[in-house]
């Protein structure tokens, strides 16, 4: 599948008659909220784990030197905490462009911190997209992130802001925090 998913996403859901819908963010959508929303609540989805397995050729890297950003990988025992936003369907005109590098919209059931549930949408970069990089040792991922830069800034900024946001949410994400530790160690040894 092409890395540019804009047209594909616009065919996936019919928003006719829908005033608002929940959107689940687990990466930069937690901290870079460049869209209007009606409500914002911490939430968790089950059966998915956050992984730095998606290449970023358009935001945090380039086609020649892609960065790494998060996607979700299925794991029946996993849970992923993030932020849910209740948005107007018009917001997807912007988000489909922002998330175009391999991400498709899927439906998901979210559990809010108070135990209530809602159905919503989540962007996931599946392994069949051209930008998918897949598994690598966390130290190697950190090295790739340390060297990547794109139109949205250094890839390291993405990682560090995500780690900080997860701590604020109270989410212990061993994968993200291990990569952060490797990145900080590499940066300290360079100084």
- Residues serving a catalytic function are 99
Residue ranges of E strands in 88-152: 103-112, 117-125, 149-150
Distance CA 141, CA 94 (A): 29
CA dihedral 98, 22, 161, 7 (to 10 degrees): -20
Distance CA 40, CA 123 (A): 17
Contacts of 165 (CB under 8 A, 6+ apart): 30, 31
Burial zone of 6 (CB within 10 Å; 0-12 exposed, 13-18 middle, 19+ buried): middle
**Closest by Cα among 105, 126, 120, 103 to 43:** 120
Contacts of 92 (CB under 8 A, 6+ apart): 9, 10, 15, 105
Contacts of 49 (CB under 8 A, 6+ apart): 72, 73, 75, 78, 80, 175
């Amino acid at each position: 599948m092409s890395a540019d998913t804009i047209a594909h996403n616009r065919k996936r859901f019919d928003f006719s008659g829908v005033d608002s819908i929940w959107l689940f963010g687990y990466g930069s959508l937690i901290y870079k909220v460049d869209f209007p929303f009606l409500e914002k609540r911490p939430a968790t989805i089950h059966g998915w784990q956050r992984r730095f397995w998606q290449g970023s050729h358009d935001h945090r890297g380039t086609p020649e030197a892609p960065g790494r950003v998060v996607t979700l990988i299925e794991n029946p025992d996993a849970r992923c905490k993030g932020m849910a936003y209740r948005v107007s369907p018009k917001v997807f005109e912007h988000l489909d462009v922002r998330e175009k590098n391999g991400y498709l919209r899927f439906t998901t059931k979210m559990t809010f911190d108070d135990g209530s549930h809602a159905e919503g949408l989540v962007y996931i970069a599946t392994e069949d997209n051209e930008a998918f990089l897949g598994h690598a040792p966390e130290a190697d991922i950190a090295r790739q992130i340390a060297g990547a830069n794109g139109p949205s800034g250094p890839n390291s900024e993405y990682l560090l802001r995500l780690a900080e946001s997860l701590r604020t949410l109270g989410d212990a994400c061993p994968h993200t925090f291990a990569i952060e530790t490797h990145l900080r160690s590499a940066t300290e040894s360079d100084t």
